[in-house]
Amino acid sequence: MKTGLKKYMNDGLSEQFPHITIEGDGYGDDWYNLAYWLCSTLQYMTDTYGAPQPTVIKVKERTNGFYFHVECGELAPTKEQEEVILMACTLSDYSLIASGRRTLQYERLI
């Protein structure tokens, strides 16, 4: 049963990104690299461009990938931050396809 990240992985994210809390359950360790990328990219946007500081990232596993909901305290994420979050969700979809846990579904247009 998936219950979240292993302690050392969660602690590693907390150490590197002390302003960001990761919440959620029902997912396994296979999403760690994607969560790391998301945290580091959003933190870079905050540090470099003054984008709102992400404070909470809520993670939920869907049938076709992971869903990331990001909170930035009282402020809404910028359009650019929203695009990065959407990219993380899209990458999670393809990650599940590559691992064989899901197949690509498409409709043929005639």
In a domain, 53, yes or no: yes
Q: Would residue 110 count as lying in a domain?
A: no
**Number of domains the chain contains:** 1
| 3-class DSSP assignment, residue 54 | coil
Residues 6+ apart with CB under 8 A from 36: 13, 16
Q: Is 91 domain-assigned?
A: yes
Cα–Cα distance measured from residue 8 to residue 70, given in angstroms and rounded to the nearest whole number: 22
Q: What is the pTM of this model?
A: 0.78
Domain span at 77 = 7-98
Please check whether residue 108 lies inside any domain of the structure.
no
Q: Does a structural domain hold residue 106?
A: no
The tens-digit pLDDT sequence of the chain (110 residues) is 345 566 767 777 888 999 998 887 656 666 778 888 999 999 999 999 999 999 988 887 776 677 788 999 999 999 999 999 999 888 887 776 676 766 555 444 44
Note the pLDDT of residue 59: 81
Report the alpha-carbon distance of residue 42 to residue 10 in Å, rounded: 17
The pLDDT score that the predictor gives to residue 106 is: 47
